[in-house]
Amino acid sequence: MEKKGTVLMQRFELGRLLGQGTFAKVYLAKNLTTGQSCAIKVIDKEKIMKGGLIDQIKREIFVMRLVKHPNIVRLYEVMASRSKIYFVMEYVKGGELFNKVAKGKLKEDDARRYFQQLVAAIDYCHSRGVYHRDLKPENLLLDENGNLKVSDFGLSAFKESSRQDGLLHTTCGTPAYVAPEVINYKGYDGAKADIWSCGVILYVLLAGFLPFHDSNLMGMYRRISRGEFKCPQWFTPEVKKLLSRILEANPIRRITVAKLMENSWFKKGYKHIDHTPPSSPQTRILDPSITDFSAGFDDEAGLIKPSCFNAFDIISLSQGFDLSGLFEKDSNYSRFTTKKPATDIVSKFEQIARTESFRMKNKGGKVKLQGVKEGRKGQLGIDAEIFEVTPSFHVVELKKTTGDTLEYKNFCNTELKPSLKDIVWAWQGSDQ
Protein backbone atom coordinates (compact mmCIF):
# COMPACT_ATOMS: atom_id res chain seq x y z
CA MET A 1 0.00 0.00 0.00
CA GLU A 2 1.44 3.39 -1.03
CA LYS A 3 2.05 5.94 1.68
CA LYS A 4 3.85 9.23 2.11
CA GLY A 5 7.60 8.79 1.73
CA THR A 6 7.36 5.68 -0.46
CA VAL A 7 9.92 5.70 -3.30
CA LEU A 8 8.70 4.28 -6.63
CA MET A 9 11.14 2.69 -9.08
CA GLN A 10 13.98 4.49 -7.22
CA ARG A 11 12.90 7.68 -9.00
CA PHE A 12 9.82 9.25 -7.40
CA GLU A 13 9.03 9.96 -3.76
CA LEU A 14 5.33 10.00 -2.91
CA GLY A 15 3.86 12.86 -0.92
CA ARG A 16 0.32 13.53 0.30
CA LEU A 17 -2.80 12.00 -1.20
CA LEU A 18 -4.48 14.42 -3.61
CA GLY A 19 -7.59 12.39 -4.35
CA GLN A 20 -8.98 8.91 -4.90
CA GLY A 21 -11.63 6.97 -6.76
CA THR A 22 -12.81 3.38 -6.99
CA PHE A 23 -9.82 2.11 -8.96
CA ALA A 24 -7.07 4.68 -8.42
CA LYS A 25 -5.43 7.13 -6.03
CA VAL A 26 -3.55 10.28 -7.01
CA TYR A 27 -0.53 11.42 -4.99
CA LEU A 28 1.67 14.47 -5.04
CA ALA A 29 5.21 13.24 -5.79
CA LYS A 30 8.75 14.50 -6.29
CA ASN A 31 11.08 13.54 -9.09
CA LEU A 32 14.27 12.57 -7.23
CA THR A 33 16.39 13.41 -10.29
CA THR A 34 15.09 16.94 -10.94
CA GLY A 35 13.48 17.77 -7.57
CA GLN A 36 10.36 18.93 -9.42
CA SER A 37 6.81 18.12 -8.35
CA CYS A 38 4.50 15.84 -10.31
CA ALA A 39 1.27 13.92 -9.69
CA ILE A 40 1.24 10.12 -9.77
CA LYS A 41 -1.98 8.24 -10.41
CA VAL A 42 -1.75 4.76 -8.88
CA ILE A 43 -4.09 2.24 -10.52
CA ASP A 44 -4.86 -1.16 -9.00
CA LYS A 45 -4.48 -3.78 -11.77
CA GLU A 46 -6.66 -6.40 -10.08
CA LYS A 47 -9.56 -3.98 -9.61
CA ILE A 48 -9.56 -2.72 -13.20
CA MET A 49 -9.32 -6.26 -14.55
CA LYS A 50 -12.28 -7.34 -12.42
CA GLY A 51 -14.14 -4.23 -13.52
CA GLY A 52 -13.43 -4.92 -17.19
CA LEU A 53 -11.61 -1.59 -17.58
CA ILE A 54 -8.36 -2.76 -19.18
CA ASP A 55 -9.21 -1.33 -22.60
CA GLN A 56 -10.32 1.95 -21.03
CA ILE A 57 -6.97 2.38 -19.24
CA LYS A 58 -5.04 1.48 -22.39
CA ARG A 59 -7.05 4.01 -24.36
CA GLU A 60 -6.43 6.69 -21.72
CA ILE A 61 -2.67 6.09 -21.96
CA PHE A 62 -2.77 6.18 -25.74
CA VAL A 63 -4.82 9.38 -25.87
CA MET A 64 -2.80 11.23 -23.21
CA ARG A 65 0.42 10.43 -25.07
CA LEU A 66 -1.14 11.83 -28.23
CA VAL A 67 -2.44 15.17 -26.93
CA LYS A 68 0.16 17.75 -25.89
CA HIS A 69 -1.30 21.20 -25.37
CA PRO A 70 -0.76 23.98 -22.79
CA ASN A 71 -4.37 23.57 -21.62
CA ILE A 72 -4.25 19.79 -21.24
CA VAL A 73 -2.67 17.95 -18.30
CA ARG A 74 0.53 16.28 -19.53
CA LEU A 75 1.23 12.57 -19.12
CA TYR A 76 5.00 12.30 -18.68
CA GLU A 77 5.52 8.60 -18.18
CA VAL A 78 3.83 5.26 -17.47
CA MET A 79 5.40 2.67 -15.18
CA ALA A 80 4.17 -0.69 -13.93
CA SER A 81 4.77 -3.23 -11.18
CA ARG A 82 3.16 -6.64 -10.74
CA SER A 83 0.07 -5.16 -9.08
CA LYS A 84 -0.03 -1.45 -9.98
CA ILE A 85 0.13 0.91 -12.94
CA TYR A 86 1.57 4.38 -12.36
CA PHE A 87 0.73 7.46 -14.45
CA VAL A 88 3.35 10.17 -13.88
CA MET A 89 1.57 13.42 -14.74
CA GLU A 90 1.91 17.17 -14.58
CA TYR A 91 1.00 18.48 -11.12
CA VAL A 92 -1.65 21.20 -11.42
CA LYS A 93 -1.58 23.16 -8.14
CA GLY A 94 -4.79 25.20 -8.33
CA GLY A 95 -7.28 22.36 -7.92
CA GLU A 96 -10.59 21.86 -9.75
CA LEU A 97 -12.50 24.65 -11.48
CA PHE A 98 -15.52 23.13 -9.75
CA ASN A 99 -14.27 24.53 -6.42
CA LYS A 100 -14.52 28.07 -7.81
CA VAL A 101 -18.00 27.50 -9.22
CA ALA A 102 -19.17 25.97 -5.93
CA LYS A 103 -18.64 29.39 -4.32
CA GLY A 104 -20.93 31.07 -6.83
CA LYS A 105 -21.06 32.42 -10.36
CA LEU A 106 -17.95 33.94 -11.96
CA LYS A 107 -17.49 37.34 -13.53
CA GLU A 108 -18.12 37.31 -17.27
CA ASP A 109 -14.51 38.06 -18.20
CA ASP A 110 -13.20 35.25 -15.97
CA ALA A 111 -15.77 32.79 -17.32
CA ARG A 112 -14.91 33.78 -20.89
CA ARG A 113 -11.16 33.25 -20.31
CA TYR A 114 -11.69 29.75 -18.90
CA PHE A 115 -14.13 28.97 -21.72
CA GLN A 116 -11.63 30.17 -24.35
CA GLN A 117 -8.93 27.90 -22.92
CA LEU A 118 -11.35 24.97 -22.73
CA VAL A 119 -12.47 25.37 -26.35
CA ALA A 120 -8.85 25.80 -27.54
CA ALA A 121 -7.90 22.52 -25.84
CA ILE A 122 -10.94 20.67 -27.22
CA ASP A 123 -10.33 22.05 -30.72
CA TYR A 124 -6.79 20.67 -30.49
CA CYS A 125 -8.07 17.26 -29.31
CA HIS A 126 -10.55 17.09 -32.18
CA SER A 127 -7.79 17.93 -34.66
CA ARG A 128 -6.03 14.80 -33.38
CA GLY A 129 -9.18 12.68 -33.68
CA VAL A 130 -9.75 12.59 -29.90
CA TYR A 131 -13.13 13.20 -28.22
CA HIS A 132 -13.14 13.71 -24.44
CA ARG A 133 -16.79 12.71 -23.71
CA ASP A 134 -16.72 13.63 -20.00
CA LEU A 135 -16.23 17.38 -19.89
CA LYS A 136 -17.36 18.97 -16.60
CA PRO A 137 -15.90 21.43 -14.06
CA GLU A 138 -14.58 18.55 -11.93
CA ASN A 139 -12.33 17.49 -14.84
CA LEU A 140 -10.98 21.00 -15.43
CA LEU A 141 -8.00 21.97 -13.27
CA LEU A 142 -6.33 25.33 -12.66
CA ASP A 143 -2.58 25.90 -12.45
CA GLU A 144 -0.80 28.41 -10.20
CA ASN A 145 -1.30 31.12 -12.85
CA GLY A 146 -5.04 30.50 -13.12
CA ASN A 147 -4.80 28.75 -16.48
CA LEU A 148 -7.20 25.91 -17.24
CA LYS A 149 -6.01 22.32 -17.81
CA VAL A 150 -8.30 19.59 -19.14
CA SER A 151 -7.84 16.26 -17.33
CA ASP A 152 -9.27 12.72 -17.08
CA PHE A 153 -9.40 11.16 -20.53
CA GLY A 154 -10.67 7.84 -19.14
CA LEU A 155 -13.91 7.98 -21.17
CA SER A 156 -12.36 9.49 -24.28
CA ALA A 157 -12.78 8.00 -27.72
CA PHE A 158 -10.49 7.97 -30.72
CA LYS A 159 -11.76 8.57 -34.23
CA GLU A 160 -10.63 5.10 -35.25
CA SER A 161 -13.00 3.54 -32.66
CA SER A 162 -16.12 4.83 -34.41
CA ARG A 163 -18.22 2.42 -36.47
CA GLN A 164 -18.50 2.39 -40.25
CA ASP A 165 -21.15 5.12 -40.03
CA GLY A 166 -18.46 7.39 -38.58
CA LEU A 167 -20.40 7.84 -35.31
CA LEU A 168 -19.79 6.82 -31.71
CA HIS A 169 -22.34 4.61 -29.95
CA THR A 170 -21.20 4.24 -26.34
CA THR A 171 -23.40 6.11 -23.86
CA CYS A 172 -21.08 7.68 -21.31
CA GLY A 173 -20.36 10.89 -19.43
CA THR A 174 -21.97 12.74 -16.53
CA PRO A 175 -25.77 13.04 -17.04
CA ALA A 176 -26.06 16.80 -16.49
CA TYR A 177 -23.38 17.52 -19.12
CA VAL A 178 -24.12 14.98 -21.88
CA ALA A 179 -25.65 15.91 -25.23
CA PRO A 180 -29.23 14.89 -26.17
CA GLU A 181 -28.07 12.51 -28.91
CA VAL A 182 -25.92 10.63 -26.40
CA ILE A 183 -28.70 9.97 -23.86
CA ASN A 184 -31.14 9.10 -26.68
CA TYR A 185 -28.93 6.11 -27.58
CA LYS A 186 -28.36 7.35 -31.10
CA GLY A 187 -25.05 7.34 -32.89
CA TYR A 188 -23.37 10.66 -32.24
CA ASP A 189 -20.54 12.85 -33.48
CA GLY A 190 -17.95 13.06 -30.69
CA ALA A 191 -16.98 16.62 -31.60
CA LYS A 192 -20.56 17.92 -31.45
CA ALA A 193 -21.16 16.10 -28.16
CA ASP A 194 -18.06 17.75 -26.65
CA ILE A 195 -19.24 21.19 -27.81
CA TRP A 196 -22.58 20.65 -26.04
CA SER A 197 -20.70 19.85 -22.80
CA CYS A 198 -18.62 23.02 -23.24
CA GLY A 199 -21.88 24.98 -23.50
CA VAL A 200 -23.20 23.51 -20.26
CA ILE A 201 -19.90 24.41 -18.56
CA LEU A 202 -20.10 28.01 -19.83
CA TYR A 203 -23.66 28.29 -18.49
CA VAL A 204 -22.56 26.93 -15.09
CA LEU A 205 -19.62 29.35 -14.89
CA LEU A 206 -21.86 32.34 -15.59
CA ALA A 207 -24.93 31.23 -13.60
CA GLY A 208 -23.54 29.17 -10.73
CA PHE A 209 -26.07 26.38 -11.42
CA LEU A 210 -26.96 23.88 -14.16
CA PRO A 211 -29.13 24.79 -17.18
CA PHE A 212 -31.15 21.54 -17.19
CA HIS A 213 -31.36 20.91 -13.46
CA ASP A 214 -34.34 18.83 -12.30
CA SER A 215 -34.93 16.96 -9.04
CA ASN A 216 -35.95 13.94 -11.11
CA LEU A 217 -33.30 12.34 -13.38
CA MET A 218 -35.83 11.45 -16.09
CA GLY A 219 -37.15 15.00 -15.93
CA MET A 220 -33.64 16.31 -16.50
CA TYR A 221 -33.20 13.94 -19.45
CA ARG A 222 -36.43 15.21 -21.00
CA ARG A 223 -35.28 18.82 -20.68
CA ILE A 224 -31.88 17.97 -22.18
CA SER A 225 -33.52 16.06 -25.07
CA ARG A 226 -35.66 19.10 -25.90
CA GLY A 227 -32.91 21.63 -25.22
CA GLU A 228 -35.15 23.42 -22.73
CA PHE A 229 -33.29 25.95 -20.58
CA LYS A 230 -33.65 29.54 -19.41
CA CYS A 231 -30.89 32.11 -19.04
CA PRO A 232 -30.74 34.25 -15.86
CA GLN A 233 -31.46 37.94 -16.30
CA TRP A 234 -27.80 38.90 -15.78
CA PHE A 235 -26.70 37.05 -18.94
CA THR A 236 -25.87 39.53 -21.71
CA PRO A 237 -27.70 39.25 -25.08
CA GLU A 238 -24.46 38.08 -26.74
CA VAL A 239 -24.06 35.23 -24.25
CA LYS A 240 -27.71 34.19 -24.57
CA LYS A 241 -27.43 34.07 -28.35
CA LEU A 242 -24.21 32.05 -28.23
CA LEU A 243 -25.62 29.56 -25.71
CA SER A 244 -28.71 29.04 -27.87
CA ARG A 245 -26.41 27.97 -30.71
CA ILE A 246 -24.24 25.69 -28.52
CA LEU A 247 -27.10 24.10 -26.53
CA GLU A 248 -29.02 23.27 -29.70
CA ALA A 249 -30.71 19.89 -29.25
CA ASN A 250 -30.32 19.04 -32.94
CA PRO A 251 -26.60 18.26 -33.47
CA ILE A 252 -26.89 19.10 -37.18
CA ARG A 253 -27.84 22.69 -36.34
CA ARG A 254 -25.43 22.99 -33.39
CA ILE A 255 -22.54 25.42 -33.82
CA THR A 256 -19.17 23.92 -34.76
CA VAL A 257 -15.91 24.61 -32.92
CA ALA A 258 -14.61 26.59 -35.89
CA LYS A 259 -17.70 28.84 -35.97
CA LEU A 260 -17.66 29.17 -32.18
CA MET A 261 -14.08 30.45 -32.25
CA GLU A 262 -15.15 33.11 -34.78
CA ASN A 263 -17.93 34.39 -32.48
CA SER A 264 -17.44 38.03 -31.40
CA TRP A 265 -18.16 37.34 -27.71
CA PHE A 266 -15.71 34.42 -27.70
CA LYS A 267 -12.96 36.37 -29.48
CA LYS A 268 -12.95 39.27 -27.02
CA GLY A 269 -9.46 39.31 -25.43
CA TYR A 270 -8.70 35.87 -26.91
CA LYS A 271 -5.03 35.00 -27.21
CA HIS A 272 -4.01 32.30 -29.64
CA ILE A 273 -2.41 29.39 -27.81
CA ASP A 274 0.73 27.78 -29.19
CA HIS A 275 0.20 24.04 -29.60
CA THR A 276 3.91 23.29 -29.09
CA PRO A 277 4.50 21.73 -25.64
CA PRO A 278 6.62 23.89 -23.32
CA SER A 279 10.27 22.88 -23.09
CA SER A 280 11.62 22.34 -19.61
CA PRO A 281 14.14 20.04 -17.90
CA GLN A 282 11.29 18.02 -16.41
CA THR A 283 9.53 17.63 -19.75
CA ARG A 284 12.71 16.40 -21.40
CA ILE A 285 13.49 13.88 -18.67
CA LEU A 286 9.91 12.67 -18.26
CA ASP A 287 8.85 12.57 -21.90
CA PRO A 288 6.38 9.67 -22.40
CA SER A 289 8.70 6.70 -22.83
CA ILE A 290 6.43 3.70 -22.64
CA THR A 291 7.27 1.76 -25.79
CA ASP A 292 3.85 0.17 -26.17
CA PHE A 293 0.79 1.50 -24.34
CA SER A 294 -0.23 -2.13 -23.58
CA ALA A 295 3.02 -2.59 -21.70
CA GLY A 296 1.61 -1.03 -18.54
CA PHE A 297 -0.13 -4.34 -17.95
CA ASP A 298 3.02 -6.48 -18.11
CA ASP A 299 4.04 -8.43 -15.05
CA GLU A 300 7.61 -7.22 -14.68
CA ALA A 301 8.37 -3.82 -13.21
CA GLY A 302 9.24 -1.56 -16.08
CA LEU A 303 7.97 -2.50 -19.49
CA ILE A 304 9.02 -6.14 -19.92
CA LYS A 305 6.94 -9.22 -20.56
CA PRO A 306 8.99 -12.24 -21.65
CA SER A 307 7.48 -14.84 -23.96
CA CYS A 308 6.87 -18.30 -22.49
CA PHE A 309 8.63 -21.52 -23.48
CA ASN A 310 6.58 -24.59 -24.40
CA ALA A 311 7.26 -28.14 -23.16
CA PHE A 312 9.46 -29.02 -26.16
CA ASP A 313 11.61 -25.93 -25.57
CA ILE A 314 12.08 -26.83 -21.91
CA ILE A 315 13.05 -30.45 -22.71
CA SER A 316 15.62 -29.22 -25.21
CA LEU A 317 17.33 -27.28 -22.41
CA SER A 318 17.88 -30.37 -20.27
CA GLN A 319 21.36 -31.92 -20.27
CA GLY A 320 21.46 -34.82 -22.74
CA PHE A 321 18.33 -33.56 -24.53
CA ASP A 322 19.72 -30.54 -26.41
CA LEU A 323 18.21 -31.12 -29.86
CA SER A 324 19.26 -27.76 -31.25
CA GLY A 325 21.88 -29.36 -33.44
CA LEU A 326 19.14 -31.08 -35.46
CA PHE A 327 17.44 -27.83 -36.32
CA GLU A 328 19.76 -24.85 -35.73
CA LYS A 329 22.36 -24.69 -38.49
CA ASP A 330 22.52 -20.90 -38.42
CA SER A 331 25.92 -19.72 -37.12
CA ASN A 332 24.35 -16.33 -36.42
CA TYR A 333 22.25 -17.81 -33.59
CA SER A 334 23.09 -18.51 -29.92
CA ARG A 335 21.22 -18.90 -26.65
CA PHE A 336 21.93 -18.55 -22.96
CA THR A 337 20.06 -19.37 -19.77
CA THR A 338 19.98 -17.17 -16.68
CA LYS A 339 18.51 -17.11 -13.20
CA LYS A 340 18.24 -13.32 -13.27
CA PRO A 341 14.89 -11.48 -13.66
CA ALA A 342 13.96 -9.96 -17.02
CA THR A 343 14.57 -6.43 -15.75
CA ASP A 344 18.21 -7.30 -14.92
CA ILE A 345 18.69 -8.86 -18.36
CA VAL A 346 17.41 -5.73 -20.13
CA SER A 347 19.52 -3.51 -17.86
CA LYS A 348 22.61 -5.51 -18.84
CA PHE A 349 21.87 -5.00 -22.54
CA GLU A 350 21.38 -1.27 -21.87
CA GLN A 351 24.83 -1.19 -20.26
CA ILE A 352 26.37 -3.01 -23.24
CA ALA A 353 24.66 -0.64 -25.67
CA ARG A 354 26.13 2.39 -23.89
CA THR A 355 29.62 0.89 -23.65
CA GLU A 356 29.80 -0.48 -27.19
CA SER A 357 28.06 2.41 -29.01
CA PHE A 358 24.84 0.63 -29.97
CA ARG A 359 21.35 2.07 -30.23
CA MET A 360 18.86 -0.03 -28.29
CA LYS A 361 15.11 -0.57 -28.41
CA ASN A 362 13.15 -2.69 -25.94
CA LYS A 363 9.57 -3.77 -26.67
CA GLY A 364 7.98 -6.22 -24.26
CA GLY A 365 11.11 -8.31 -23.69
CA LYS A 366 12.37 -8.14 -27.28
CA VAL A 367 15.62 -6.16 -27.39
CA LYS A 368 17.10 -4.75 -30.59
CA LEU A 369 20.72 -3.57 -30.69
CA GLN A 370 21.85 -1.56 -33.72
CA GLY A 371 25.51 -0.59 -34.13
CA VAL A 372 26.37 2.96 -35.14
CA LYS A 373 29.71 2.01 -36.70
CA GLU A 374 29.93 0.87 -40.33
CA GLY A 375 31.36 -2.63 -40.81
CA ARG A 376 32.25 -4.62 -43.91
CA LYS A 377 28.56 -5.25 -44.62
CA GLY A 378 27.01 -2.25 -42.92
CA GLN A 379 26.05 -1.74 -39.29
CA LEU A 380 25.88 -4.75 -36.98
CA GLY A 381 22.36 -5.55 -35.76
CA ILE A 382 21.48 -8.03 -33.01
CA ASP A 383 18.10 -9.21 -31.72
CA ALA A 384 17.77 -10.63 -28.20
CA GLU A 385 14.46 -12.19 -27.13
CA ILE A 386 13.76 -13.06 -23.50
CA PHE A 387 11.70 -16.19 -22.72
CA GLU A 388 10.33 -17.07 -19.29
CA VAL A 389 10.62 -20.73 -18.23
CA THR A 390 9.74 -19.93 -14.61
CA PRO A 391 9.61 -16.52 -12.87
CA SER A 392 13.20 -17.14 -11.69
CA PHE A 393 14.60 -18.81 -14.82
CA HIS A 394 14.88 -17.22 -18.27
CA VAL A 395 16.24 -18.11 -21.68
CA VAL A 396 17.66 -15.44 -23.97
CA GLU A 397 18.02 -16.08 -27.70
CA LEU A 398 20.51 -13.96 -29.66
CA LYS A 399 20.51 -13.59 -33.44
CA LYS A 400 22.40 -11.42 -35.91
CA THR A 401 19.97 -9.46 -38.08
CA THR A 402 22.33 -7.24 -40.08
CA GLY A 403 26.06 -6.88 -40.69
CA ASP A 404 28.96 -9.25 -41.28
CA THR A 405 28.89 -12.74 -39.69
CA LEU A 406 32.60 -12.76 -38.89
CA GLU A 407 32.33 -9.37 -37.19
CA TYR A 408 29.29 -10.62 -35.27
CA LYS A 409 31.17 -13.71 -33.99
CA ASN A 410 34.15 -11.60 -33.04
CA PHE A 411 31.91 -9.14 -31.17
CA CYS A 412 30.16 -12.01 -29.33
CA ASN A 413 33.43 -13.62 -28.24
CA THR A 414 35.38 -10.51 -27.29
CA GLU A 415 32.70 -8.07 -26.08
CA LEU A 416 29.21 -9.52 -25.65
CA LYS A 417 29.90 -12.76 -23.76
CA PRO A 418 32.44 -11.24 -21.33
CA SER A 419 29.96 -8.43 -20.59
CA LEU A 420 27.16 -10.93 -19.90
CA LYS A 421 29.20 -13.38 -17.79
CA ASP A 422 27.82 -12.17 -14.44
CA ILE A 423 24.20 -12.98 -15.44
CA VAL A 424 24.70 -16.08 -17.65
CA TRP A 425 24.09 -19.51 -16.13
CA ALA A 426 24.95 -21.51 -19.28
CA TRP A 427 25.48 -20.87 -23.00
CA GLN A 428 23.96 -22.98 -25.82
CA GLY A 429 23.92 -22.65 -29.57
CA SER A 430 25.41 -23.98 -32.78
CA ASP A 431 28.77 -22.35 -32.16
CA GLN A 432 29.20 -23.73 -28.61
The answer to whether residue 277 scores a pLDDT higher than 90 is no
Q: Are the CB atoms for 431 and 411 separated by under 8 Å?
A: no
Q: Is pTM, for the whole model, over 0.85?
A: no
The residues annotated with a catalytic role in the active site are 134
CATH class for the domain made up of 307-429? alpha beta
Q: Which of 177-191, 278-292, 323-337 has the highest mean pLDDT?
A: 177-191
> Domain boundaries in the chain?
7-91+284-297, 97-261, 307-429
pLDDT tens by residue, 383-428: 998 887 766 778 888 889 888 888 888 888 888 999 998 898 888 6
Query: What pLDDT score does 14 carry?
Result: 94
Of the candidates 260, 135, 252, 248, the one whose C-alpha atom is nearest the C-alpha of residue 189 is 252
Q: Which of 5-9, 96-100, 256-260 has the highest mean pLDDT?
A: 256-260
Superfamily of 97-261 according to CATH: Transferase(Phosphotransferase) domain 1 (1.10.510.10)
Phi, psi dihedrals of residue 225, rounded to the nearest 5°: -60, -35
Phi, psi dihedrals of residue 197, rounded to the nearest 5°: -60, -40
- Domain 97-261 matches domain 307-429 at the CATH topology level: no
Q: Are the CB atoms for 399 and 391 separated by under 8 Å?
A: no
Query: What pLDDT score does 299 carry?
Result: 43
- Better pLDDT: 111 or 367: 111
Q: Are the CB atoms for 331 and 409 separated by under 8 Å?
A: yes
**Does the annotation place 107 within a ligand binding site?**
no
pLDDT tens by residue, 49-108: 888 888 888 888 888 888 999 999 999 988 888 889 999 999 999 989 999 998 999 999
Report the mean per-residue pLDDT for the chain. Answer: 82
Look up the CATH architecture of domain 7-91+284-297. Answer: 2-Layer Sandwich (3.30)
Q: What is the mean pLDDT of residues 179-190?
A: 88
Query: What pLDDT score does 326 carry?
Result: 35
Query: What pLDDT score does 162 carry?
Result: 53
Q: Which of 44-58, 117-131, 142-156 has the lowest mean pLDDT?
A: 44-58
